[in-house]
Amino acid sequence: MLNKLKKIAKDLLAIRSIRRVYENTNRAFLETFGSSRILSHFFFLVSFITFNREQAATLQGRRDYYRNKKRDRLTRVELRRNVHRIEKGLIMRPRRDIFARDYVGETIEFYAAAASQCKRSPGTSEIAEMDWAHNVLEEYFRVSATGKDKVVDEARRTFESIDYVPSTTGNVPRAKQQTSNVSYDELVDLANQRRSVRFFDDKPVPRDLVDKALMVARQAPTACNRLPYEFRVFDDPAMVKKVSNIPFGTAGYADNIQTVIVVVGKLESYFSPRDRHAIYVDASLASMSFMFGLETLGLSSSVINWPDFEPLERKMQKTLGLSGSDRVIMLIAVGYAHPDGLVPFSQKKELDTFRSYNNLAR
């Protein structure tokens, strides 16, 4: 039904006179209600459904953030965030004598809860994450002078009383290392090589290669080390077909996709609505790194656009069993490029059209 309505709309807009009426009406309407924030507010009082899913997801995400603090989990976003904040304090030049006093007590509470879970259920917690937290906190208390601040001293005593022995050391702030020999020209070649491939060989995608590319993805920058996303990978042919046919953007090639990935943003990673857009930024950075990783492994990919369109959102949520605080960011089709398939040239904008220097408002 949805596809039929879409086809009718496209057929009508293909008629020049109808398209002009539609565009002129839109322009007049938008010139009026888009002229001020007050008028925009009145518009969205009527068409509240436009951003209702994001609003509800943001609120549910904040609720789930606090709920999760009382649950056993494999990974703890609040611990990662605060430990990373301490890392940033450790690398400051010059470093302050006392820093992080406003949240170090809270961080130790998070650390104690994670250590307690490790003790109750060995192997269920993210050990590498716990080791990192322990070692960074140990370094923090090593460089923080004793007796200078009661809050820090109390946190130190609590930390030293917690029974946790790390299995690794050394994962604390250090000088940046030049570990790659990739040249600029090689990187440009890789960027030019990566093109959106929509027609794939009838050949399964090895899971170990997907996992290798995901190891590259997780190194992408992310606000306060939260990594607020999941990569839902589907390689069962029936499931791939079902998921790939949900978005509008796969018309004509959905049944050709070998593996499809749904990138999901996790709003439960945030306690404040100010961060609600970070899932889109962080997941997109990770996705680009993932696709470059795929290229180095001989695999190709294509980003499948995911519009904020309620009927599709509802269908994907039901199909994947997503929670109310989960937001689909994009889908990524993965496979081996068909030897006879073509890719668009896709001429890009010239540098001067998207780059400027020192361009302040006057």
Q: Is 2.40.10.10 the CATH classification of the domain at 188-335? A: no
- Please, what is the average pLDDT of the chain? 93
The token pair at 49 is 């459904």
How large is the angle between the packed helices 77-90 and 52-68, nearest 10 degrees? Answer: 80
Give which of 344, 234, 253, 235 is closest to 304, Cα–Cα.
Answer: 253
Instruction: Give one DSSP letter per residue of 140-165, joined into a string.
Output: HHHHSPTTS-HHHHHHHHHHHHS---
Q: Is the full-model pTM beyond 0.75?
A: yes
Query: For the segment 64-78, what is each residue's pLDDT rounded down to a tens digit?
Result: 999 998 888 888 999
**Does the pLDDT value for residue 282 go beyond 80?**
yes
- Which CA distances in Å does 75 have to 103, 115, 118, 241, 328? 20, 12, 11, 31, 21
Cα–Cα–Cα angle for 310, 326, 6, rounded to 5 degrees: 20
pLDDT score of 2: 65
Burial class (CB in 10 A: 0-12, 13-18, 19+), 43: middle
Give which of 291, 292, 281 is closest to 329, Cα–Cα.
Answer: 281
Give residue 133's identity as a one-letter amino acid code.
Answer: A
pLDDT score of 124: 65
Domain ranges of the chain: 2-46, 62-161, 188-335
pLDDT score of 76: 92
Instruction: Give one DSSP letter per residue of 172-232, joined into a string.
Output: S-----------HHHHHHHHHH--B---B-S-PPPHHHHHHHHHHHTTS--GGG---EEEE
Close Cβ partners of 80 (under 8 Å, ≥ 6 residues apart): 129, 133, 224, 225, 226, 227
pLDDT score of 228: 97
Q: pLDDT class for 18, splitting at 50, 70, 90?
A: confident
Calculate mean pLDDT across residues 310-328: 96
